[in-house]
């Protein structure tokens, strides 16, 4: 994953443009994503697909002709979505177009202006402080033209049409944790899942933030009824324990799975309630969709210093952190795959487990019969209302034992899967 | 308010009689109340309107002809609703008709006997202890005759027929906190509200305790379906922080508003659960009505020493305490007026706030964008199920910001008011 | 109760056989139980009624012809349901059929093998350690033949068909706490209840564990809809405070009653959530029945050292412990008998309690009018939704006062009983 990240790092991505296409073409070497393009001006709910932005070159030269700031050195130097500029300005005028971070004088900040035509340069505060009175040439060779918004989708069909949605943002330029980490972990997860026999269908989205999610939802409204579990993955490569942010509904199956896996597998994780700020859960959990979509990350955005700066680089993200994130997602998916509701086919009184070899037949001695207890709990609560996770919670027994008990009972035809209608539908209509 | 209280203080009020009429005529100089009279003997649910009580004079004279207890000095001296008496009694006989407070030897207690024909005198314990063996003339020139029960009502119409009910008792003789404070604060609140443009209609009741509430409910059953918020106001002039006693339902909008305002505006307030003892919430919250009526007071009845004694006088109640109570009620009404449920008119994905000038368009920098967060919370939770107060609770954002966000979104036609049926109806029918 | 226990103690009971019949015949001297027999091989849900087991004699003799283990000394010495054996074995072979308790070298363990044909001896560890290399004669003169499973039932009809089920196990040989204590307390409770005028009908079951409950449920499915309260009684004679284990539903009326009585009457009681392991609540609370059946005991099974050993004898169980258990059950039944829901017949405003002599008519003085408060609480919450126990909980007033208040209000025709449909029905059908 870190190698893929290293390959993707130099590309200048934005919410549209060639950087996105280059990125998706590299991902396509690992997994057979389908790439979709939506034209500038397409109405997507309350929004319009914006003009496509591309950039070749940009710099600030001093009066001696020296390039003191150069896009070629870091694509963060240019305010993302800057319009073309080619003029001479005084220091005083220039300063209004400069962004720097006094508290981190070596770092370049990351700034965008997608929806207001503007230009600017992001520079280190050391660079800022060296600027003397002078006349500067500012040059940005960018274009903002009718074109496309590009995103990719990869669907792995499972036994049932119910879907697990995994979505990650592809719009950030050269920064690793935010969000090459999400891209790389999602890619490798898809790569692994395509080789497996799966119960659920899995849909991976590689989309630009906000407008990408809005565009996808607008085009794919008919698909969302299949989304039974959803997860935004981002910020998976930095330091810090895992953070899971609940869906708007707050207690859907994805929330239960995430909380159970974090509790079992992670020592210092945090669970946050939903809030309508953050990543694309803002769109998936808008009241008209209210999908069961949570968000998995490590340290949340805004809570680590390197966030949205040039310091979020290939050193900041470690292969170990990526690997641990990958493992955690794998554990969540394992649980999603088996966390079902069952019905006890002998609901009246206990079935005779002894005659099926499932029960210690010398009675009277009460010892640590944990597995027998797991069998009894699964039988007792399998009334079509309790998932295996619910049974874990009620019994205090670990998921492995409960799910093994369910398997044994299925083999003996004492349980059957409970089928219910997929529960998603817009909770809100005007 | 304290001046009005000073004017009302000397009047000998009871649940019926001239004192009530005099009181209402003074209130009428401030607000155009309508005065209603119900005849003695009228059946009101399980009760009957009692005979009307009036009193001219009353005293106890010793054998030397000295008036040692005189109604002219304090109307508390006579057991309220005493029947006429004119006889000579020994000290021993007299003592059976005397009430005093050994623990407060200077104070006159307040006692009543509305529903059992009786007579008596309430005196200070110092007076009690000076009584020597003697023959005393006891004289009460009162009358208990067919007449009327009198109460007043003042309705300020608002945009919608849903009503806020504010009810206060007018049956106590010369005591200030209980309940001239309630009368004065309610009068001034009505005086202010009549000059305002109001969403809700406001109904003020000035009624005798218990039998007045029962009479009003009996006559006005058809009106109660409009009561959406209700509040008993009393004990608003004494010391101590505010106390709010919840309605029987316990979590209606009046309960939510009272709790939110007390939390925001008051440093040492208390919230009590409903109990079927206290003021007229006993009637409004009887199971056959179960109205959303709470009770606002300062120190509750029975919890301060001056309660129901002559020490509850014009010194005990301060203008500052009345003013603070008035302010708190004003804050509650401000919140009632705006605490609505809305629907997001763009429920699918976020609306584009930037193009409407509602969003900071230079992205990438996460600072303290509190107002933008307030906008996002209001949009996300405006699904017709969450009031603005609910949104405050979910978001942790203060009411001013949330309500300002709702106003801005309304201006931009991104929200609409959610209309729902008035929810009151008798929860209980035989 | 301890005398009855002493009479029952020596009998060798099992899930079938003559010991059960002898036991029931002794109980029949106290209460007119009806004895039911179900034939071996009868299909009862997923089970079959097993062969009937009887035993005459059993011993282990050493090569010198000494009976070193003798069933005549303790019926625990034989693995319950042992098949007949008559052979000579070496010490090595014998050891595979021996059970002892190294941690309690003087005690004989209790073991069973109902559903796997096997044989064995349970001996003290001291006996085990004295066994030298030798050839032993093992002899068990038992029979395992087609016959019957026997249980008894005693129904005391009440005013209404709704039933209180009290079930206890009769399958344990010579052990007192488990479960002669349950048998004796249930017998004496039935003996007392038959002399009383009862609202509910009471059904006592004396059944063998597990297979007895399954058999009863299988035969009596049509009766279970009447079970409104159910209680398994066992382990009522040992040390330790009371333990109540909730029904599967967890908050039914039996749960509420048990918790209220334990709170009021017992200083160190414990409330456990339901789990599908333990006594016959396993069957009554299987998902296809899900009956409101809890379990009352003192120290739970497996949590005291004497459990399922010869040390659970007539000294371990004291008359005092049995008596206290009996009293507690009596208190629970008293509460069950009166814990109803009522409707206030004057739901609109308070009724006039004063004219009915139920209210102190000299007003103004707020003292400790506890009984008046109890009346007001009962009136206010009697809307057909709150039981008297619910009213205790809401008001904080003790059950005696609340139930006395309800009685007074009934006498004055201010309350009526609320009738509702019996709520039990299988929650689960395939």
Sign, CA dihedral A284-A285-A286-A291, equals positive
Asked if B308's CB is within 8 angstroms of C366's CB, the reply is yes
Chain C residues closer than 8 Å to B288 by CB? 344, 346-349
How far does the CA of residue B165 sit from the closest CA of chain C (Å)?
17
Whether the pLDDT of residue C366 is over 50: the answer is no
Return the HEC string of chain B.
CHHHHHHHCCCCCCCCCHHHHHHHHHHCCCCCCEEEEEECCCEECCEECCCEEEEEEEEEECCCCCEEEECCCCHHHECECCCCEEEEEEHHHHHCCEECCCCCCCCCECCECCCCCCCCEECCHHHHHHCCCCEEEEEEEEEEECCEEEEEEEEECCCCCCEEEEEEECCCCCCHHHHHHHHHHHHHHHHHHCCCCCCCEEEEEEECCCHHHHHHHHHCHHHHHHEEEEEEECCCCCCCCCEEECCCCCCCHHHHHHHHHHHHHCCCCEEECCCCCCCCHHHHCCCCCCCCEEEEECCCCCCCCCCCECCCCCCCCCHHHHHHHHHHHHHHHHHHHHCCEEEECCCCCCCCCHHHCCCCCCECCCCCCHHHHHHHHHHHHCEEEEEHHHHHHHHCCCHHHHHHHHHHHHHCCCEEECCCCCCCCCCCCC
Question: Angle at CA B173, nearest 5°, toward B169 and B177?
Answer: 60
The rounded radius of gyration (Å) of the Cα atoms in chain B is 26
Q: Which residue of C has its CA nearest to B47?
A: C352
Name the residue with tokens 């009151």.
Answer: B424
CB contact under 8 A, B364 and A109: yes
Q: Does C351 touch chain B (CB under 8 A)?
A: yes
- What is the pLDDT at residue B84? 97
* H/E element, A406: helix A399-411
Terminal-residue alpha carbon distance, chain A: 45
A362 confidence band (pLDDT: 50, 70, 90): low
Separation of alpha carbons B1 and B4, rounded Å = 5
Sort out which chain B residues have CB atoms less than 8 A from A211's CB and list them: none
ipTM for the complex shown = 0.91
Q: CA of B24, closest CA in chain C: separation in Å?
A: 23
| pLDDT exceeds 90 at position C245 | yes
pLDDT tens, position by position, for chain B (430 residues)?
Answer: 999 999 999 999 999 999 999 999 999 999 999 999 999 999 999 999 999 999 999 999 999 999 999 999 999 999 999 999 999 999 999 999 999 999 999 999 999 999 899 999 999 999 999 999 999 999 999 999 999 999 999 999 999 999 999 999 999 999 999 999 999 999 999 999 999 999 999 999 999 999 999 999 999 999 999 999 999 999 999 888 999 999 999 999 999 999 999 998 888 899 999 999 999 999 999 999 999 999 999 999 989 999 999 999 999 999 999 999 999 999 999 999 989 999 999 999 999 998 898 887 665 554 447 789 999 999 999 999 999 999 999 999 988 899 999 999 999 999 999 976 544 444 444 4
Q: Which residue of B has its CA nearest to C376?
A: B276
Whether A350 shows a pLDDT value over 90: the answer reads: yes
- For residue C361, the model assigns a pLDDT of 60
Neighbours of B, requiring at least 3 CB pairs below 8 Å, are: A, C
pLDDT (0 to 100) of residue B370: 79
State the average pLDDT for chain C: 94
CA B205/CA B192 separation, integer angstroms:
16
Q: Given an 8 Å threshold on Cβ–Cβ distance, is A362 in contact with C110?
A: no
* Token pair recorded at residue A98: 């400069």
Q: What pLDDT score does A421 carry?
A: 56
**Class of residue C48 by CB neighbours under 10 A (exposed 0-12, middle 13-18, buried 19+):** middle
Report pLDDT for B338: 86
Quick check: B383 and A427 CB within 8 A? yes
Q: What is the pLDDT of residue C81?
A: 97
The two beta strands, B43-44 and B47-48, are: antiparallel
Cis status of the peptide bond prior to C115, with omega within 30 of 0: no
Residue A359 three-state SS: coil
CB spacing of B380 vs A286 below 8 angstroms? yes
Q: Quickly state the pLDDT bin for C368 (edges 50, 70, 90).
A: very low
Whether pLDDT at C369 is above 90: no
Do the chains contact at A350 and C430, CB–CB below 8 Å?
Answer: no
> Touching check for C250 and chain A: CB below 8 Å?
no
Rounded mean pLDDT of chain A?
94
| b (16+ CB within 10 A) / e for C342-379 | bbbbbbbbbbbbeeeebbeeebbbeeeeebbbbbbbbb
Can the peptide bond before residue A179 be classed as cis, meaning omega within 30 degrees of 0? yes
Chain B residues touching residue A223 (CB < 8 angstroms): none
pLDDT value, residue C365: 52
Q: Distance (Å) from the C-alpha of residue A358 to the closest C-alpha of chain B?
A: 48
Average pLDDT for C126-145? 97
Q: Give the list of residues 6+ apart from residue C325 with CB closer than 8 angstroms, or none.
A: C181, C185, C233, C236, C237, C242, C296, C298
Q: How confident is the model at residue C294 (pLDDT cuts 50, 70, 90)?
A: very high
- A371 and C65 Cβ atoms separated by less than 8 Å: no
Token pair for residue A44? 């997507």
Q: Reply yes or no on whether the pLDDT at A427 is more than 50.
A: no
Please report residues of B whose CB lies closer than 8 A to that of C352.
46-47, 115
pLDDT at B266: 84
Q: How far apart are CA C369 and CA B278, in angstroms?
A: 13
Sorting pLDDT into bands at 50, 70 and 90, what band is A358?
A: confident
User: How many other β-carbons are positioned within 10 Å of the β-carbon of residue A256?
Assistant: 17
* 3-state secondary structure at position C273: coil
Q: Which residues of A touch C171 (CB under 8 A)?
A: none
Residues in chain B with CB shorter than 8 Å from the CB of A109 are: 364-365
B-chain residues near A276 (CB < 8 A): 350, 373, 376-377, 379-381
Report the C-alpha gap between B63 and A71 in whole angstroms. 113
A112 close contact with B: CB closer than 8 A: yes
Q: Which of residues 283-342 of B touch C (CB under 8 A)?
A: 283, 285-290, 301-302, 307-308
Mean pLDDT of A419-423: 59
Q: How confident is the model at residue A239 (pLDDT cuts 50, 70, 90)?
A: confident
Total Cβ atoms within 10 A of residue C87: 9
d(CA C386, CA C371): 19
Q: Chain C: nearest CA to B117, how far in angstroms?
A: 10
| Yes or no, beta carbons of A351 and C46 under 8 Å apart | yes
Mean pLDDT of C383-395: 94
Query: Touching A: which chains, 3+ CB pairs < 8 A?
Result: B, C
Q: Least CA distance to A362: which residue of chain C?
A: C113
In chain C, residues 77-96 whose CB comes closer than 8 Å to chain A? 79-80
- pLDDT of amino acid C80: 97
Under an 8 A CB cutoff, do B109 and C365 touch?
A: yes
Of C361, C364, C376, the CB nearest to B276: C376
Q: Is the pLDDT of residue A420 over 80?
A: no
Query: Number of Cβ pairs closer than 8 Å across A and C?
Result: 102
Q: What residues 375-394 of chain A have any CB closer than 8 A to a CB of chain C?
A: 376-377, 379-384
pLDDT of residue B428: 45
**Distance to chain A for B350, nearest Cα, Å:** 6
The more confidently predicted of residues C8 and C338 is C8
Residue A428 near chain B (CB below 8 Å): yes
Label residues C54-64 b or e (16+ Cβ within 10 Å = b). Answer: bbeebbbbbee
What pLDDT, on a 0 to 100 scale, did the predictor assign at position C423?
A: 45
Contact A376 C283 (CB under 8 A): no
User: Cα(C216)–Cα(C214) distance, rounded to whole angstroms?
Assistant: 6
Q: Look at residue B365 in the predicted model and tell me its pLDDT.
A: 52
Share of chain C above pLDDT 70, in %: 95
Helix (H) or strand (E) holding A61: strand A52-61
Residue A166, SS3? strand
> How does pLDDT run across A112-152, given as a tens digit for each residue?
999 889 999 999 999 999 999 999 999 999 999 999 999 99
Q: What would the two tokens of residue A316 be?
A: 């900041």
pLDDT at C427: 42
Query: Which of A80-94, A253-267, B320-334 is the least confident region?
Result: A253-267
d(CA B394, CA A285): 15
The DSSP bridge pattern shows strands C201-207 and C163-169 to be parallel
Say which of C213, C288, C308 has its CB closest to residue A364.
C308
Give the pLDDT score at B195: 96
Closest chain A CA to residue C172: A364
Contacts of A107 in chain B (CB under 8 A): none
pLDDT tens, position by position, A141-194: 999 999 999 999 999 999 999 999 999 999 999 999 999 999 999 999 999 999
């Amino acid at each position: 994953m870190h190698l893929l990240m290293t390959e993707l790092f130099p590309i200048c991505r934005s919410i549209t443009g060639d950087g996105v296409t280059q990125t998706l073409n590299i991902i396509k070497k690992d997994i057979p994503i389908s790439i979709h393009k939506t034209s500038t001006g397409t109405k997507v709910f309350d929004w319009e697909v914006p003009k496509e932005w591309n950039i070749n070159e940009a710099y600030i030269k001093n009066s001696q002709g020296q390039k003191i700031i150069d896009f070629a050195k870091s694509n963060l130097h240019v305010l993302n979505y800057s319009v073309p500029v080619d003029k001479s300005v005084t220091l005083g005028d220039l300063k209004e177009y400069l962004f720097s971070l006094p508290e981190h004088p070596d770092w370049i900040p990351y700034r965008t202006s997608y929806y207001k035509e503007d230009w600017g340069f992001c520079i280190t505060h050391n660079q800022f402080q060296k600027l003397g009175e002078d006349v500067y040439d500012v040059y940005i060779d960018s274009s903002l033209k009718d074109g496309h918004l590009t995103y990719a989708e990869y669907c792995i069909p499972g036994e049932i049409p119910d879907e697990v949605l995994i979505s990650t943002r592809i719009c950030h330029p050269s920064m690793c944790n935010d969000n090459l980490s999400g891209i790389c972990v999602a890619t490798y997860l898809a790569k692994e899942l395509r080789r497996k026999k799966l119960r659920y269908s899995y849909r991976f989205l590689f989309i630009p933030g906000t407008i990408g999610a809005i565009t996808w939802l607008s085009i794919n409204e008919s698909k969302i009824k299949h989304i039974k579990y959803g997860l935004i993955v981002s910020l998976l490569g930095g330091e810090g324990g895992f953070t899971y942010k609940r869906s708007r509904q707050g207690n859907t199956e994805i929330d239960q799975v995430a909380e159970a896996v974090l509790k079992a597998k992670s020592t210092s994780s945090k669970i946050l309630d939903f809030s309508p700020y953050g990543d694309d859960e803002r769109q998936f959990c808008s009241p008209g969709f209210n999908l069961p979509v949570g968000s998995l990350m490590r340290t949340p955005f805004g809570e680590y210093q390197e966030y949205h700066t040039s310091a979020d680089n290939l050193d900041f993200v470690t292969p170990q952190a990526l690997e641990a994130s990958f493992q955690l997602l794998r554990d969540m998916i394992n649980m999603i795959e088996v966390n079902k509701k069952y019905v006890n086919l002998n609901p009246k009184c206990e079935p005779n487990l002894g005659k099926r070899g499932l029960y210690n037949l010398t009675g009277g001695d009460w010892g640590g019969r944990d597995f027998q207890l797991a069998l009894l709990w699964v039988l007792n609560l399998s009334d079509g209302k309790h998932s295996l996770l619910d049974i874990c919670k009620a019994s205090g027994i670990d998921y492995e034992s409960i799910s093994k008990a369910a398997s044994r009972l299925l083999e003996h035809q004492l349980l059957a899967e409970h089928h219910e209608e997929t529960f998603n539908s817009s909770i809100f209509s005007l």
